[in-house]
Structure 1
Amino acid sequence: MHAPPTPFAALIALALLVGPASALASDASVKARLDARGIKHTVDDDGDYKVTYSYEKEGRTQLVFVSGGTETVGGFSIREVFSPAARLEKDGVNGAKALELLAESRTNKLGSWETDGDVLLFVIKLPDSASAAELESAMDIAAQTADDMELELSGARDDL
């Protein structure tokens, strides 16, 4: 005869059932917001929403991603918008340049510079409750900021 599950075990089982469903709901909310603004996108291998900005006048493009998942901090559900600007080694991002980027991050009103492996990213962390218009605005800011830095660091090269 099996003993009935403890309240703790029941909570764990419920969390396992509800967790994936709420993650999917968050993903669907990003898709809905992008679709509402008419933003064409794909989903990459790790579930992030990928958008290619086209700056036709300059003959350039810029990648922007909206994270497919959220993280919770202090009761906030946070979603990241990020755009790659450089390859650290290839584009000569050294200690002096890193200090300049830290100083620039201090003056940015929304977003900051981060690294992920060998990639320099401009990252904006938003409450997941951001509206479709606010999400689009954050994407615009990330794309423009990252592309400007890519131009500064790599010249005319348009790799990202």
Structure 2
Amino acid sequence: MRLLALSLACLLPLASLPAAAADASVEARLTARGLKYTIDDDGDYKVILNFSEEGRTQLIYVSGGTEDVSGLSIREVFAPAANIKTDGLTAEMAMDLLRESRTKKIGAWEIAGDYLYYVIKLPDSANAQELNAAIRVAGSIADDKEIELSGDADRL
């Protein structure tokens, strides 16, 4: 019984793992640009951009972790544009998104789960200004697509 109690006590710190997994360098870069954020359940940074002229907001995430690609540390910035189930996505629309991705200088359309995202993958060495630019590009493109696919709805 004592071993079980000790084991459980050792596991308690893991309950707050996402918050503990916070990346001080991301926080510093977001703060340097005046971006307010929260950290979601899986450790991603959640930023909400306000498009006041249009009376809209857009949700953008900065991944809480990085991935190594041939020695290059990559972080993702991603913004949801549509719920595929509720907004619908036909094969023709998917082909149009692929074509559109080809015209973008940074980022591309991706599907994950039930959502369509605009995703920018950049070196984690990106400074605060570059990370801010990626957030704004992803947010603007995703919000424009949300308007196109769902009309006036501003769910994401």
Q: Structure 2 length as normaliser, TM-score?
A: 0.85
Deviations 1:104-127, CA, capped at 9 Å, x for gaps:
001100000001111000000000
**Given the alignment of the two structures, is residue 54 of structure 1 paired with residue 55 of structure 2, yes or no?**
no
Q: How many aligned positions are there?
A: 138
Percent of aligned pairs sharing the same letter: 61
Q: Deviations over 1:12-52 (max 9, x none)?
A: xxxxxxxxxxx95x811100100111111110110000001
- Alpha-carbon RMSD: 1.5
Task: Tell me the distance in 2 between the aligned counterparts of 1:90 and 1:96.
Answer: 17
Under a length normalisation based on structure 1, what TM-score does the superposition of the two structures give? 0.83
What CA distance in whole angstroms lies between the structure 2 residues aligned with 1:120 and 1:112? 11
Amino acid at match of 1:155: G
| Partner SS for 1:129 | coil
Q: Does 1:97 align with 2:93?
A: yes
**Which letter does structure 1 place at the counterpart of 2:57?**
T
The answer to whether the aligner puts 1:83 opposite 2:112 as a matched pair is no
Aligned ranges 1:58-137 → 2 under 5 Å: 58-137=54-133
List structure 1 runs of 4+ shifted beyond 2 angstroms: none
* Residue matched to 1:4: none
Query: Is residue 37 from structure 1 mapped to residue 33 from structure 2 by the alignment?
Result: yes
* Counterpart for residue 5 of structure 2: none
Q: CA deviation at 1:89?
A: 2.1
Q: Which residue of 2 aligns with 1:149?
A: 145
Quick one: which amino acid aligns to residue 72 of structure 1? D
Instruction: Tell me if the contact between 1:113 and 1:120 (Cα under 8 Å) persists in the aligned partners.
Output: yes
Query: What is the deviation of 1:90?
Result: 1.1
- Distance in 2, matches of 1:35 and 1:28, equals 10
List gaps (5 residues or longer) in structure 1.
1-22
